[in-house]
Chains A and B, each alone.
Chain A
């Protein structure tokens, strides 16, 4: 008889595998127990526990940090679905804290104020898996080489403007397709240009996909946004401010879950889009001065 205590924990397969189980689903930002329960009831595959959604971080300004452990634990106690939480880029001590709380995934996130403008966290040192943002393939592969078990395209968080999510998904997808058409000697040059390890570049060229799950995030606010991102090749979605900054959060959350599953069926997406009340007001990314754009954070 095998014993569970003779097992291997924290390997790449269970970390990446956890993200595989989230595919085709929506991960929702929540700031309290009540929102977490609404998200679970609406069919979210996981919740991201944080003190302020990106739209409020943007509006209020100041330094944004890891959430209070008490708040994260209350949410863990309230729902049965996975609970994720964010740390600042490079802030390995915040990640050590989240590991003691047994969150299910850590998001090393550009939405919080970076703690290190040169290094990201060495994610191989943790048994908890990490998700990291990326705007292009090179950035995604650098994060994977540091141990990220899941990637999300960044978009521009807290805007309700989906255009940057579109740009980043098209960019990552296009760069992957380009690699699949290259000769081996060209892949060496591609690795240099992408500033990514050759072994990962070669793997992507051979398989035609990232070695980890690719979600999308940043600005998704409607069922139509969800359906579009899934058709552009996302494995699933993060929705931050888009749900709980809207008129009827419960209804909108359930509608986005439906649109994510039936993303190729426009009739179902149309039905899901009916009578949702007011969407989050939003900001056009073009109106945000470049230094205030969160997607620029990460190196």
Chain B
């Protein structure tokens, strides 16, 4: 018998031992519990006629209040806070604010920026406007000035109107007209002011001049019909104002431009302080703790700060004390790679169209067998082991054409916005993108006229593959945020009594919703049995 045991047997024993032990040593833990993906929303036990049950986040089930605000501890009680508290918390935490200017990185002193808030607030308070409440339009690229202007508006109780940069003169003019903004902050020489003045109530312009051009005098233009002032002049020589104690809660803090799909026209949507802070705090607690934004994170908004979702996530990063690095170059006008270059971010926000383009380009660039094998291996890691692929020398060996955002990237926020007509990213596309970008991706459903921030959002570890067919591409947007509740209502041929999954018009309500009570979006949604929202019907 003993003569039977030879080298073949020993080899087999080694193989069996290896097959048993190596998975234990090398496989690792999944990123999240797969079982938690089956009932992602809290569903009401009753429903009204012609309506589905109300769906809520599992964080705020029925019987508990929806998330109202930041919950800032004050003595023995907690208060909701407002946008000012985000800046105050950011000042206390070790997070920093950097600006990328080409190849240089400017590290801002938070105290200097805090002074700038007061100087800007004082200067704007002193300006003469025809209405008591001042409306400040901010037509700036992503920059420290953009954020400072937003917080100055919060501290001094002005209405803040972020306008996407760059834009055509006519677009800016229309937005100024629709919001009756009398004060505009813009980069020097980016618009011809004499063109603007004719059709708007614009009275005062603050010019942001880059450092290299400050020897030129932009403020004294003899033909100007508006008062001109340079930002660096205010920052250097301005007087610090006293921040008002109380804000007028009845007035909106921020005005957002969006298309209203129900009315089929552009409108100005007012966001109150409560809308914004409830959306920020819902965003802050949405992800499982290990994926949440932390002090160690480097956050870059690779999307315009005029987009409300980008701004809400940026505020969330500031609240968490992450280091925020802004770059004036952002998609869609710039490339994603150049917007993150020199920042080496760990968390970014990207417009959905940019990510869809990256998907298309990078999939086409996987032309070698090695690329395909690597991709299949990474998808298998995702789907079977629930682990997001990590960037490594081996994975990047002989790499194909894809954006390289550095080793630190771990999380991408991307938002679907039906008002912008973005093309939905399907489950399988998102999985491919996770492998392409070496990052987790959180996919949000937003609709600016309805609610601040996201309405629903996928969990960071939801890597379930989509059940695609020739005619149907599986896609979903995850469970509701904790700051609102959602239900579906019968609309046209869609009924919530649909045998499989209720279908109907999406109706939202809660602290982050722009109206008191319910807001009917006019968008048809389908509620899946796993508690996730999907857009459109199945056929």
* B is a partner of A: no
